[in-house]
Structure 1
Amino acid sequence: MIDVQRLRVLRSVSEHGSFNRAATALRMTPSAVSQHIAALERSLGARVVDRSTRGVTLTRAGRIMVGAAESVAAELAHATRMVERLGAGRTQLAVATFTSGGRHLLPGALTRLTSAHPGTVVHIREAEPEDSLPLLREGAVDVALAYHFDGPLPCGQGSGPEVEWIPLLEDPLHVVLPETHPLAGRGVLDITELADEPWVFGCLKTEAYLRRYAERAGFSPEVRGTTTDYFFARSLVAAGVGLSLVPSVALVPHVPGLRAVPVGPPAPARHVGAAVLRRRGDPVVSTLVESLRQSVAGAVKTSPARAR
């Protein structure tokens, strides 16, 4: 039988890349970490790490076992929360969300959830997808409201519990510019038309997208501001600092004096969705996902971009 503690040690060795750093994280001695790994290898009859002067790397068997360790950790965390719910006599739900999704999509969904399941205690954690999806795998949250652009989900596919991605919204990006800008009256804009403009951003990922697009188009954007809040970025546009790229969902509340113009093909968009672990069958989670679908439908109808 595989010892769960040994799997925990292997996860830490994988995460930190050495016995010494794993020992520090686990508050153990390096010798104890080494003994746990050796015992795990004996029980498996296979090496799980390759040791060298530069640290340790996982073998193929080690990678398989780390995936199993992540699954076990998530299941134990989920089971612990279920037992805590029994003891407390109240249903609890942990949700991780990115900022603009939490601001514009989640509140209405939570109102419908608590109406359908009175007494549910909801815990919210603000986190970008690269953090919220691992939290989901680890069992720290039940639902992750997340997004991705033109790349894959940052959830470490291939190891740990299987994540189910439930698409909710294609959230197109718009160029936000002052109403007095010569191009503000256009119905659609090609980003190459704005190659000489300065930019401010409300998200590192939209900046990364523009830099990739600009590189393919043969220009280098001048970035004058980087924030983690789209409303802040739009306020900087209103102050004349530069233009911005903003998803439809984050175009509210309206900032006077600004215009949002759709980006022409290939139109960039955020793919917004809810991530859950498969085979949980939790009715509260199912209700929240359905409530998020309703919030998305309402957000699309009332979007300033759709109203024009």
Structure 2
Amino acid sequence: MIDVQRLRVLRAVAEHGSFNKAAAALLLTPSAVSQHIAVLERTLGHPVAVRSTRGVTLTEPGRLLVEAAEAISAELDQVRREIARLSEERPRLTVATFTSGGRHLLPTALSRFVAAHPEVELTVREGEPEEAVPMVRGGAADLALTYHFDGPAPVRPGGRPGLDWVPLMEDPLWLVLPRGHRLAGRTSVDLTELAADRWVLGCLKTEAFLRRYADLAGFDLRVAASTTDYFFAQTLVAAGVGVSLVPQVALAEAPEPAVIRVEPPRPARHIGLVLPRRRRANPYAAALAEALTVAASTRTGVRP
């Protein structure tokens, strides 16, 4: 039988890449860490870690065990929280969300949820995908409203360790131009037509997409302003600072610049939910997920 404490030691070795560093993090001696790993390998019948001058490398069985350990740890944390909730007067639910998705989908979904479950104490935490997904994995959030750009989802459906991705809606990107821009009267624009323009960036992920596109198209991306707020970026566009590429759901509060369709292949964000995979699902998380699904299906967010 595999001991949970030894899985915890293996996780620390994987995280720190060293027996000595793992020992320091766990307040153990390096010898104790080595003994835990040795017993784990004897129990399993396979090596789980290989030491070298460059540190410790996990074997394939070791990697599988670490993934299982993360899922087990998340399950135990969930059980602890459920036990703690038994003594609370009100059940609690924490949802993580990125800003523009929160503005677009959460108000409608939360109104529906609160009306059906007034007994729940809600907490909303803001975070980009790289922050929100670990919140769910670690139990700091019960679910996350998040997104990814064209490419693989941040969580594979049915993948390890213990998280699921539920797609909600596509969120295509639009060109936002100053009203006096030479292309402002067009119905659609190819991004290469803006090779000489200066750009206002609304987030780092949009910048990464534009830089990849510019490299493939053979032009240099000229950045006039870089922000972490699509709404602020649009005010800068309206002031004539430059042009921008903005997701559809972030256009709701735009200050009336020209909004133009991007010619194919049209870039998009894909909005969805990250939920922990549990033997016994949190009924409140499931109810909020359903409310968000309804909100996504009934709101297109198209302003143009």
Q: Mark yes or no: TM-score above 0.5.
A: yes
Partner SS for 1:147? strand
Which amino acid in 2 is paired with 1:64? L
- Residue 130 of structure 1: aligned partner: 130
Note closer, same or farther for the CA distance 1:89–1:264 as it changes in structure 2 (3 Å cut). Answer: same
Q: CA deviation at 1:248?
A: 0.7
CA distance in 1, matches of 2:236, 2:32: 54
Structure 2 residue aligned with 1:22: 22
Identity of aligned residues (%): 58
- Runs (4+) of structure 1 exceeding 6 A deviation are none
1:275 aligns with 2:282: no
In the TM superposition, residue 27 of structure 1 has moved relative to its aligned partner by 4.1
Q: Cα RMSD between the aligned structures?
A: 2.0
How many Å separate the matches in 2 of 1:185 and 1:179?
A: 9
Distance change in 2, residues 1:142/1:280 (3 Å): farther
Say yes or no: does 1:203 pair with 2:203: yes
- Alpha-carbon contact 2:173-2:268 (below 8 Å) kept: yes
2:259 counterpart residue number: 260
1:146 maps to 146
1:96-143, CA deviations, whole angstroms, 9 ceiling, x for partnerless residues?
211211222112212211111111112222222123223323333221
Aligned to 1:236: 236
Does 1:160 pair with 2:161?
Answer: yes
Unaligned runs of 5+ in 2: none
What secondary structure does 1:6 align onto?
helix
SS of the equivalent of 1:88 reads: coil
Secondary structure in 2 matching 1:182: coil
> What is the one-letter code of the residue matched to 1:275?
V
Which residue of structure 2 aligns with residue 175 of structure 1? 175
Gaps of 5+ in 1: none
Q: Which residue of 1 aligns with 2:82?
A: 82
Distance, in Å, in 2 between the alignment partners of 1:107 and 1:34 is 52
In the comparison of the two structures, how many residue pairs are matched?
Answer: 302
CA, structure 1 residues 9+274, in 2 after alignment: closer, same or farther (shift >3 Å)?
Answer: same
TM-score with structure 1 setting the length: 0.91
1:108 alignment counterpart: 108
Question: Structure 1 residues 71 and 223, CA, compared in 2 at 3 Å: closer, same or farther?
Answer: same
- Identify the residue that residue 70 of structure 1 maps to in structure 2: 70
Inter-partner Cα distance in structure 1 for 2:174 and 2:181:
15
Shift of 1:156: 7.4
